[in-house]
Amino acid sequence: MEGIKYNIFIPKIRQKFILNALKENKRIDNRALNEYRAVKIKYGHLPNADGSAEVSLGNTIVLAGVKIDISNPFPSEPDKGILIVNAEFPPVASPDFEPGPPDENAIELARIVDRGLRKPEVVDFSSLCIIPSQKVYRIWLDIYALNHDGNMVDAAGIAAIVALMNTKYRKFTYVQDKGLVDTGEKVPLSIKNFPVFITHAKIGDQIILDPNLEEEMLADCKVTTIVSEGGLITGMQKSGIGSLTLEDIDKILIDSINLYQKVKENILKEVNKNA
């Protein structure tokens, strides 16, 4: 139940400059309206994590780490593994972030990422069952912002999927009279889908892709579209004060679906570069 806080101050003259440039289809960092910032990916660099990825989208940096342990399954899904997504915006990432438990923005981000990974079953949850109704693997996916320069959702989405892709967990088997036994083997997660998070911002009449922090502060609202294999839409979230028309939504949907393949290939290219 917090107020809306926008502490980052953009001088009026700069606001005008940005908005006027947008009227001529120009952006302050010289990007086209539907152009992504450069994506850089580092992964598997944190050996104590079962999986990890650090993604930078321009100056935005987001870190995702995976830890896997064993727990009881949810009663509603006794033969499926569990995924828990958390996000934190620690003060290292911005002078506006304060220490303490995740605020509503961090919780929203975690829940968007969670939604993007759950329904299209990015991880084969059935393969994460050890003893039905008793023991399953539990995936903890923790997302940390390291530098906030706008559009953290997309960066978090890439970090999440790349971290899951390079996750390896200790394989346990159930042996009669002995219980769970560590096989000493480390196996990767089986990844079934590849969701891409695509965020547009609406500023005045313009819709722009991948807003940076300044653009985000001036935007009416943002819309994140999650697109998965086959151009299916697997999630959407409008965030921020402000409104959209149905035509805007339609435009965003079409644009996101068209971008999917390109963005995905770009991510995979970056991943392979560091392999």
Q: Which residue has the tokens 């987001």?
A: 62
Residue 90: strand, helix, or coil: coil
74-93 residues in contact with other proteins (CB under 8 A) are none
Dihedral-angle region of residue 58 (phi above 0 means left; psi in -120 to 50 means alpha; beta otherwise): left
Q: Name the minimum Å distance from CB 202 to other proteins.
A: 11
In this structure, are strands 135-147 and 82-88 parallel, antiparallel, or unpaired? parallel
The count of residues interacting with other proteins (CB under 8 A) is 39
For residues 170 and 192, what is the distance between their CA atoms, to the nearest angstrom? 20
Element at 215 (helix H, strand E): helix 213-218
Nearer to other proteins, 39 or 252 (CB): 252
Q: Name the minimum Å distance from CB 101 to other proteins.
A: 10
List the one residue from 79, 108, 124, 255 that touches other proteins (CB under 8 A).
108
Nearer to other proteins, 191 or 244 (CB): 244
Nearer to other proteins, 188 or 231 (CB): 231
List the one residue from 73, 120, 157, 211 that touches other proteins (CB under 8 A).
120
The answer to whether residue 119 forms part of the interface with other proteins (CB under 8 A) is yes
Nearer to other proteins, 70 or 263 (CB): 263
Nearer to other proteins, 41 or 113 (CB): 113
**And the tokens for 234?**
């697997």
205-264 residues in contact with other proteins (CB under 8 A) are 221, 223, 228, 231-246, 248-250, 253-254, 257
**And the tokens for 74?**
């949810």
Binding piece for other proteins, criterion CB under 8 A, among 15-23, 99-107, 137-145, 260-268: 99-107
Element at 65 (helix H, strand E): strand 60-71
The answer to whether residue 115 forms part of the interface with other proteins (CB under 8 A) is yes
Residue 91 is classified by DSSP as G
Q: Which residue has the tokens 């001529």?
A: 24
Q: What angle do CA 79, 192, 126 make, to 5 degrees?
A: 5
CB-CB contact of 156 with 85 (8 Å): no
The site for other proteins (CB under 8 A) is made up of 1-5, 104-105, 107-108, 110-111, 115, 119-120, 221, 223, 228, 231-246, 248-250, 253-254, 257
